[in-house]
Amino acid sequence: MSNSELAIFKPVTINQWNLRNRIVMAPLTRGYARDEDGTVTEEIAAYYEQRAKDGAGLIITEGINPVLSGKGTYGIPGLYTEAQTASWKKVTEAVHRHGGTIIAQLWHVGRLSHSDLIGGKPQAPSSIQAEGRVHKLHKPYELPHAMTIREIEDVVAHFQLAARNAVLAGFDGVEIHAAHGYLIDQFINERTNLRNDEYGGDLHQRLRFLKEIIAAVQKEISADRISIRFSEKKDDDSSYEWALKAETLAAYLELFRETGITILHPSTENYTKNWSDGLHFHQAVRAQWEHIVIGVGNLDLQTADKAIHDGVIDLAAFGRPFIANPDLVQRWQSGLPITAYNPTEHLSILR
């Protein structure tokens, strides 16, 4: 069988999205937005257009801030001003010209920020300092400010505003980034959420913040065009694991069903790594989830296609290969070799 005959290259309908294949360009922080105002440039539009032109089925953008307090490093784009929204129209129009589908990932880093970036103390569910240094700024994370109820409500409202602006900018959907130890995940994590109000306590209460954000976003865009990225792994705490794996996963899935979510993006560094009871993370999700699953985690073409063929995942997301190969899909379909990702070479430019 030639590569072009693989299941991963076949068109698929995912709710309202008619995708030309099952290959997803994963969200990739690049840091090339205008730092002073969070708008995206013609260079960024060309970057996404090239991947759409060369065949990506679904593009998930780099993380986009719904509010300034969500910014975690230099050059991160936003979707909370008219100028930012207008600048993203160049991107969505370029992608759509080539028959592509693109969704905006909404991302608030919470405590993983710094006052040099956002003009005030970072926000978090509790005043607990993260270990490590701020990306590109190279300063230690600061002690964050424990959010008041009013501040929580304000962030929820900004996620709704960002979803509204995503629609105005022409995006086909949104992804809520609830993974990797960022703000939403900080509320869910018992190590970073020590609150004793309605947003703290047991797991179901710690999931409340995510539930409210989903409800707010759904006021602007239908549930079947919303993806949720979630994970066990934390970018700032490599030792972290869910103490009760099965119970925690079940609580997430219960929330997603309750809120009408049908597209999940479970995130892990290694797709094939054993997670629990002989299953990897995506297999554990599939065992309890009847809807759409996006696979990710250092996948290669053959592993991804087998996972799709076996019904474990519906779409397969690739990150670093798309940075190094704008024409990744065409290369795979034609059986051509792909360029190996080299951070020194590939992170310094958009191509």
Whole-angstrom distance, CA of residue 309 vs CA of residue 304: 9
CB 197 within 8 A of CB 208: no
**Tokens 């993806």 identify what position?**
227
DSSP lists the bridge partners of residue 315 as 294
What are residue 19's phi and psi, to 5 degrees? -95, 140
What type of residue is 104?
Answer: A
Rounded to the nearest angstrom, the gap between the alpha carbon of residue 165 and the centroid of all alpha carbons in its chain is 17
Whole-angstrom distance, CA of residue 180 vs CA of residue 132: 14
Angle between helices 82-97 and 149-168 (to 10 degrees): 40
Residues with Cβ within 8 Å of 90's Cβ and at least 6 positions away in sequence, in order, are 40, 42, 45
Within 10 angstroms of residue 182's Cβ, the number of other Cβ atoms is 24
**Tokens 């690739």 identify what position?**
318
Looking at the chain, the number of H-run helices and the number of E-run strands are 13, 14
Catalytic residue list contains 182: yes
DSSP 210: H
The gap between the terminal CA atoms of the chain, to the nearest Å, is 32
Q: Is the dihedral of CA 16, 22, 28, 30 positive or negative?
A: negative
Residues with Cβ within 8 Å of 119's Cβ and at least 6 positions away in sequence, in order, are 68
* Token pair in block for residue 120: 């005030």
Residue in 323, 317, 329 with CA at minimum distance from that of residue 351: 323
Within 10 angstroms of residue 262's Cβ, the number of other Cβ atoms is 18
Which of these is catalytic: 182, 199, 252, 271?
182
CA atoms within 13 A on the CB side of 278: 0
Q: Which residues are catalytic?
A: 182
